[in-house]
Amino acid sequence: MKFLSIGLLVILLAFAPNSGFKTNQLKNQRVKQAYANKQSTIDSILKRHQLDVSTIQIFIRVFKAERVLELWAKDANEEKYKLIEKFDFCSFSGELGPKRKQGDLQTPEGFYHIDRFNPWSSFHLSLGINYPNSSDRILGYKANLGGDIFIHGDCVTVGCIPLTDDKIELLYLLAVEARNNGQLKIPVHLFPFVMNDRNKQVKYLANRTNAGLIEFWKNLEPGFRYFEENKVLPRVTVNSTGAYQFR
């Protein structure tokens, strides 16, 4: 009976919200001040979209050509996300196309998640993206893939996504709440552009001499389309050639 109780406790702890995460974040002065600055805004946004801060989960979708970051959210017991906020990039580096090596100034394209929270960032607050992912490790320049891609404050970039200090506070805090609720991997989908028919025709024509780039973009399309049609995240895997697969 004792062993059964211990086993049950382990299972319950494994699925319990990570309630200590927010507490630890609040030990940092920038996070405390961000809550003082943005708590009323957070309350207003969540009320408007009928979301509960204690069960919120989020999804980040980025379009490089449009230079916009979308923030989607849902309650943990629901499947479909709803768009709750949009943030314009403050600055941009590189060009359309994936990141393949250190120093190319590129913002990645593909399917990622938040893997780091940095309340001591040189750019106010920052959320780290898990670049290079499995696809990048196969398709990129293996000797020097680079790393340290963040969504952050300020207005400078060499491949990251700067939103200004003011805007990163709101995004960072909602990510803290989601992580605190047990969302260990906040998904981030990075697209070259809004992949509707008109945009695809224009971008594919403009890059018609770059067959490899068009093939890569076409591999991203099903992931964009699945979420666009269903407002539910696709399950994403990577095959042995580095291509994304969806189900």
As given in the structure block, the two tokens for residue 101 are: 């090596």
The C-alpha angle 165, 63, 125, rounded to 5 degrees, equals 20
The neighbour count for residue 177, using CB atoms within 10 Å, is 23
Give, for 114, the enclosing helix (H) or strand (E): strand 110-118
User: Which domain does 101 fall in, by range?
Assistant: 16-193
Mean of pLDDT values over 93-121: 97
Cβ of 185: how many Cβ atoms within 10 Å?
11
The answer to whether position 91 is within a domain reads yes
Q: Please report whether residue 219 resides in a domain.
A: no
CA atoms of 91 and 69, how far apart (whole Å)? 12
The answer, yes or no, to whether residue 52 has pLDDT greater than 50, is: yes
Q: For the CA atoms of 229, 73, 117, 38, what is the dihedral angle to 10 degrees?
A: 140
Q: Which residues contact 157 (CB under 8 A, 6 or more apart)?
A: 91, 92, 93, 107
The set of residues, in sequence order, having a beta carbon less than 8 Å from that of 163 and lying 6+ positions away, is 69, 87, 88, 89, 90, 151, 152, 153, 171
Would the pLDDT of 238 be above 60? Answer: yes
49, 90, 113, 152: the catalytic one is 152
**Number of domain units in the chain:** 1
Percentage of the chain beyond pLDDT 90 is 92
Question: Residue 10: pLDDT band by 50, 70, 90 thresholds?
Answer: very low
Mean pLDDT within 91-107: 96
Assigned domain for 103 exists: yes
The pairing of beta strand 186-191 with beta strand 56-63? parallel
Report whether pLDDT(12) > 70: no
pLDDT attached to residue 9: 41
Q: How far apart are CA 231 and CA 225, in angstroms?
A: 10
Q: Is the pLDDT of residue 151 over 70?
A: yes
In a domain, 7, yes or no: no
Task: Give yes or no for a contact between 168 and 152, defined as CB atoms under 8 angstroms apart.
Answer: yes
Which pLDDT belongs to residue 4? 41
Per DSSP bridges, beta strands 244-246 and 82-88 are: unpaired
Q: Where residue 56 sits, what CATH number does that domain have?
A: 2.40.440.10
C-alpha span between 50 and 34 (Å, rounded): 23
Mean pLDDT of the chain: 94
Per-residue pLDDT, 18: 61
Question: Mean per-residue pLDDT for 105-116?
Answer: 98
In a domain, 26, yes or no: yes
Q: What is the pLDDT of residue 17?
A: 54
**Is residue 189 among the annotated active site residues?**
no
- For the segment 10-37, the average pLDDT, to the nearest whole number, is 80
199 part of a folded domain: no
Please tell me the least confidently modeled range out of 17-21, 55-59, 215-219, 238-242. 17-21
**pTM of the prediction?**
0.92
pLDDT at 92: 96
In a domain, 210, yes or no: no
**How high is the pLDDT of residue 5?**
47
List the catalytic residue out of 90, 124, 160, 189. 160
Number of other CB atoms surrounding residue 13 within 10 Å: 8
| C-alpha distance from residue 209 to each of 77, 212, 217 (Å) | 46, 9, 14
Three-state secondary structure call for residue 238: strand
Summarised one tens digit per residue, pLDDT across range 195-235 is 999 999 999 999 999 999 999 999 999 999 999 999 999 99
pLDDT over threshold 80, residue 21: yes
Instruction: Establish whether 49 is a catalytic residue.
Output: no
pLDDT of residue 84: 99
Q: Is residue 211 part of a domain?
A: no
